[in-house]
Amino acid sequence: MSQTSSQSMRILLDQSEIPTHWYNVAADLSTPPAPPLGPDGKPVSVEKMAEIFPMNILEQEMSLERWLPIPEEVRQIYALWRPAPLCRATRLEAMLKTPAKIFYKNESVSPAGSHKPNSAVAQAWFNHAAGIRRMTTETGAGQWGCSLAFAGQMFGIEVRIYMVRVSYDQKPFRRSMMRTWGAEVFASPSELTQSGRMALAQDPNSEGSLGLAISEAVEEAASRADTTYGLGSVLNHVVLHQTIIGLEAKKQFEKIGLYPDIIIGPCGGGSSFGGIAFPFLADRAAGDKRANNLRCIAVEPTSCPTLTRGAYAYDFGDASGYTPMMKMFTLGHDFMPPGIHAGGLRYHGASPLISQLVREKLVEPVAVPQLATFEAGTQFACAEGIIPAPESCHAIRAAIDEALRCRETGEEKVILFNLTGHGHFDMAAYDRYFSGALEDYEYPAAAIAASLAHLPKVG
């Protein structure tokens, strides 16, 4: 394939090629996923889960079917921006002087500017179909909050969003986007819930966390019969919806006769990583020889090193213990990460599905420091023109590192990473990087151990 061919730089699909089904990796796991547990240590009942989720969502969450159909109404809204382009980063390759071929799936083209609407639209549709007209949620960097606000507007659903305080302050224009689409937005911890009031009583200046914001959103949803909860990552049905990313990418690689050797995605809760990697892991499970040596790399910040330094154990998905306990890599549900600018990666746990694949050594976790990610994001912007979100910069950092290894070895590997969103509303973070105000933070081992000491006792 020519280095300069225009065909090689942007691979497109027709709208008729938007996938008709999502891929469920749970069908291909060597052992079934561990069930969520209630406070008594026993598998949580569907009736209990139905207090915050509609049944049609729970059916997806617990499904072991390999393929689940995408409703036509969801595909029609996807068509506002999908299929998303697969792009060849030829200028970045030249800058790095690498023989590797670097590709990225550009999820920044959605109305909300990230991959998050892939699940938000689906969740809003399933809630609407179940007769729900009001939802609560949390958001870190604001990408998920914007996405559910947009999706709620598509289906006439009222949305209330608890936004992690540090991001609420850092990213005011994300708040503006949510409000433009009709959502209510509150800084978390807030005075609106018992969880928020308790956190503020302990620390009136709390920067908040995704775990705490989840507690607030779940608490409100559980207290109102007319309200359900929508989650932007972690759970099986969310990762399921995101597999449209990798399914499209597979079709796009087929068009140019290539197949990735390395797949990279940022990983906080895990939806963007799972979305791009799982459909290729399906090939590996099916015995496709092209995937025999496939490497899938999940990239997290050193300041919130869930997969690389956490424990594989049952833990709550939120800070207050309102959610069921899930078997996952975790830093402890009361872990309070520092206020890094990649707000979407400041989560104490990780997707149970991704955690199981890491445990089985089918996924490689890597932790990278904050300054190195902004260095990589700036390199990418200068080469390819797109200013990436801080979360995406983590994947770019790992992709550049792999490309540099190829320069040393001479290998012409095909590298694919997920460009999860643009950084147009993150320029304050870039300003801090350029001024030298950002710093690296590696979480102390003693602090992680202290948090893990509070894991719930199971069995």
Residues 436-454 pLDDT 10s: 999 998 888 998 999 999 9
Q: Which CATH number is 6-20+70-113+238-452 given?
A: 3.40.50.1100
CATH 3.40.50.1100 maps onto the chain at: 6-20+70-113+238-452, 115-236
Return all residues near 368 (Cβ < 8 A) that are at least 6 apart: 299, 300, 301, 302, 394, 397, 398
pLDDT exceeds 50 at position 1: no
| Sequential DSSP letters for 237-293 | HHHHHHTHHHHHHHHHHHHHT---SEEEEE-SSSHHHHHHHHHHHHHHHTT-GGGTT
- Quote the CA–CA distance of 333 and 358 in Å, as a whole number: 20
Residues 212-226 pLDDT 10s: 999 999 999 999 999
- DSSP 8-state code for residue 294: -
Residues 5-39 pLDDT 10s: 434 689 999 999 999 999 999 999 999 999 999 98
When pLDDT is averaged across residues 94-113 and rounded to a whole number, the result is 98
**Which tokens in the block code for residue 232?**
């932007």
Q: Tell me how far apart the 2 most distant CA atoms of the chain are, in Å.
A: 62
Three-state DSSP class for residue 233: coil
Residue with the two structure tokens 């790992």 = 398
Contact status, residue 277 vs residue 415, Cβ threshold 8 Å: no
What's the fold here for domain 115-236? Rossmann fold (3.40.50)
| Element containing residue 138 per DSSP (H, E) | strand 134-139
CB-count exposure of residue 380 (10 Å: 0-12, 13-18, 19+): buried
pLDDT exceeds 70 at position 248: yes
**Which tokens in the block code for residue 341?**
């600018």
CA–CA distances in Å: residue 389 to residues 175, 246, 426: 16, 20, 7
When pLDDT is averaged across residues 257-269 and rounded to a whole number, the result is 97
